[in-house]
Structure 1
Amino acid sequence: MPGDDKQLVVLSTERKLPQFAGLPSKPGDLTVDQFVLECKRSFKVWGTPKEQQGFLVGRACVGEAKTHLQLLGDDDKDNVDLVFTHLKEAYADKAPFSALIQAFYGRQQLPDESIRQYALALSTVLRRASDKDDKDNVQLPHPDRALRDRFVAGLGDAGLRRDLLKLIRGKGDIKFKDVREEALHLSGEYDREAMSEPAMRVAMQSADMHGQAAPRQDLSAQVAKLTAEVAALKGQLSQQSPPSRVPSQPRGLPGDRYAPDGRPYCRQCGKLGHIARRCFSQPMPGPAADNTYTNPLPYPGQGN
């Protein structure tokens, strides 16, 4: 049935309302009006049945807000209108418009407060005052301009104030968000925020790693190229015929004869392969005896 299908979709565990703990205690906490508005929008998108909305709002309340809802009866806890009324009575902003406007125009940037934090705090006070203005913004006809001018006037840096005032005089219709961004850039806070982000640090480390890896990659490419060139040269040399070996001619006495392969002829016996100093044969008769070489060293077994 269509009604059953609708209820199954509403009870999906993936759809959760934002948590509400009561009075805002830190930046980002929802006020009761913001929480109620968020719940109504979610129920409209999800198509949540009216009889289930009170139960889901009770599950989203934690801490002190949950304790306040425990004061309701069991039947009243399922009535979403009574739940919203009970939360608004307990946590509605009870400050009057005059007090909020006075706090807005008296707000200054604190010594340890960043420009972004100061802008957020100032915007929050103005938003609370605008919600209290029950005369269709008659008391705040130009909230963005009031926020822009108060933001510049409350900055702690006098030099930054002068620069932003010049910007406003040059562009009279400039919006608050543009003035805030200009203040973040001029003060250097925007750059500090970007450098402090973990994602930015990782990106910078990755860039450094890539910058260091690039020279290594270039060096590896050069080594591979040189290795290929050396291998090509070796291949060319191996294909060429080796040069003919010319036998070296040993040094000797004038008139010594040598074979083409460099071996000497003996002056004493005329044989090939040794010299007269190492010859143990008898001297050759005839003219060869005139060219005998006397060994100055005694033969083994001979005396002096």
Structure 2
Amino acid sequence: MADTPAAPAVSHVVVMERERRISKFYGDDPAMAPEFEEEIRRAWAAMPSSSAAHRLDVLLGNVGPTVRAELRCQPAEVQEDPERALAAILEVFGERRTPAQLLQNLLTLRQLPPESVRAFSHRCQSAYLMLVKRQESIGEAPYPDRLLRDHFLSNLRDVTLSRFLRDSLHQSPELTFRQIRESAIRWADDGAEQQPVHVAPITASATPGPTSQTREDRLELALTTILEKMDRLLDQRGPQRRREERLCYSCRKPGHFKRDCPDRHPKN
């Protein structure tokens, strides 16, 4: 009887770490150093069990010849340590301007006439990132996110949008740059189809009418809501006097709010 063929040896399948996209750093543009560091660190974080040699290979594989030549001039302990090698690259080829100079650079940014909201937000964020990275490199406490957020919304070309975002921020001071940015981009991209996040709360029951509204309609509704809130606050201080003086923002008659206006909601 023929011998039964031996079962094939079981081999272990090695799953390689998914490649992370990294923009190669040539050392000729200091403004790219913070982004390069962020991408390298993301790549390292994606392979937590890798050796120091592997992480060093990832770093060296994403720098240009000038940067590699500089590293060869560093002491052996720097060349063999990925963290120290990255620090050396950032020290030599990174941003050299002072925090004061970088802050001034950020504060001079304005949205240019042909520039989209998204592109302007990228410019602001890049300038802010350079500033905080430089502060951290010299042991200085970095500026908070609200510096970036406030500068961005204060320098948008669309005045109506800027006012909406300011109203949102007044009601929700904890809003971040990312939230403000997303709201601004939706406004710019969709126009009347979208409303910025966290604007004065407006509900269907309080504002009957068609769902599609122009920017002017939304602005009027937001301002009306804010003014009515002010009326309620004043009511708490002098209810009777405020009821006598209150004017409806629709018919301009005293004694009721716009949402309760009999002219807007005629009885059958």
- Contact (CA 8 Å) 2:34, 2:129: kept in 1 or not? no
For residue 87 of structure 1, report the CA deviation from its aligned partner. 1.7
Q: CA distance change for structure 1 residues 91 and 175 in 2, over 3 Å: closer, same or farther?
A: same
Pairs within 5 Å for 1:159-178: 159-178=160-179
CA 169–144 in structure 1, closer or farther in 2 if over 3 Å, else same: same
Match of 2:89 in 1: 87
Task: Give, as a single letter, the amino acid of the residue that structure 1 aligns with 2:141.
Answer: D
Q: In 1, distance between residues paired with 2:43 and 2:172?
A: 40
- Aligned-pair CA distance for 1:61: 2.4
Alpha-carbon distance in 2 for matches of 1:190, 1:97: 37
Tell me the C-alpha RMSD between the 2 structures. 4.0
TM-score, normalized by length of structure 1?
A: 0.46
Shift of 1:96: 1.3
Amino acid at match of 1:179: I
Distance 1:120 1:176 in 2: 11
In 2, Cα distance between the equivalents of 1:9 and 1:102?
51
Seq. identity, %: 16
Alignment partner of 2:61: what SS? helix
- Offset at residue 76 of structure 1 (A): 7.0
State the Cα distance separating 1:35 from its structure 2 match.
4.4
Residue 38 of structure 1, aligned match among 30, 42, 61: 42
After TM superposition, give the deviation of residue 72 of structure 1 in Å: 6.3
Cα distance, 1:136 vs. partner? 3.4
For the residues of structure 2 that align with 1:51 and 1:185, how far apart are their CA atoms?
A: 45
Deviation of 1:41 after TM superposition, in Å, equals 2.2
Aligned to 1:136: 141
C-alpha spacing 1:18/1:168, structure 2 compared with 1 (3 Å): closer
Q: CA contact under 8 A between 1:145 and 1:176: conserved in structure 2?
A: yes
Is the aligned partner of 1:115 residue 2:117? yes
Conservation of the 8 A alpha-carbon contact between 2:109 and 2:124: yes
Q: Give 1:153's aligned residue.
A: 154
1:82 is displaced (CA, Å) by 5.2
1:190-213 C-alpha deviation (Å, 9 max, x unpaired): 57xxxxxxxxxxxxxxxxxxxxxx
Tell me, yes or no, if the aligned pair for 1:33 and 1:92 is still in contact at 8 Å. no
Is the 2:25–2:32 Cα contact (8 Å) retained in structure 1?
no
Shift of 1:85: 4.0
What is the CA deviation profile of residues 27-86 of structure 1, one whole-angstrom value per residue up to 9, with x for unaligned ones?
Answer: 99863432442354245x2x2223444334222324643454465699975553553244
152 and 101 in structure 1: CA distance in 2 versus 1, 3 angstrom threshold: same
Aligned equivalents of 2:174, 2:78: Cα separation in 1:
51
Partner of 1:272 in structure 2? Answer: none
Range 50-59 or range 110-119, more displaced: 50-59
Task: In structure 2, give the amino acid aligned to 1:106.
Answer: T
- TM (norm. structure 2) is 0.51
The whole-number CA distance in structure 1 between the counterparts of 2:95 and 2:73 is 21
Other structure's SS at 1:110 match: coil
Q: Which of 1 and 2 has greater Rg?
A: 1
Q: CA deviation at 1:125?
A: 1.7
Q: Distance in 1 between matches of 2:17 and 2:184?
A: 43
Contact 2:34/2:130 (<8 A) preserved: no
Match 1:57 to one of 53, 56, 59: 59
Residue type of the alignment partner of 2:163:
R
Distance, in Å, in 2 between the alignment partners of 1:156 and 1:128 is: 24
Classify 1:13/1:174 alpha carbon distance in 2 versus 1 (closer, same or farther; 3 Å).
closer
Q: Which runs of 5+ in 1 are unaligned?
A: 192-304
Structure with more contact order per residue of length (Cα contacts < 8 Å, sep ≥ 6) = 2
Structure 1 residues 54, 115: CA separation in 2 closer, same or farther (over 3 Å shift)? same
Aligned length: 178
Unaligned runs of 5+ in 2: 1-10, 192-268
Mapped to 2, the partners of 1:125 and 1:34 lie a distance apart of: 15
Counterpart-to-counterpart distance in 2, 1:111 and 1:15:
38
SS in 2 for 1:48: coil
Asked if the contact 2:22/2:39 (under 8 Å) is kept, the reply is: yes
* CA apart distance, 1:186: 2.8
> Is the Cα–Cα contact under 8 Å of residues 110 and 155 in structure 2 kept in the other structure?
yes
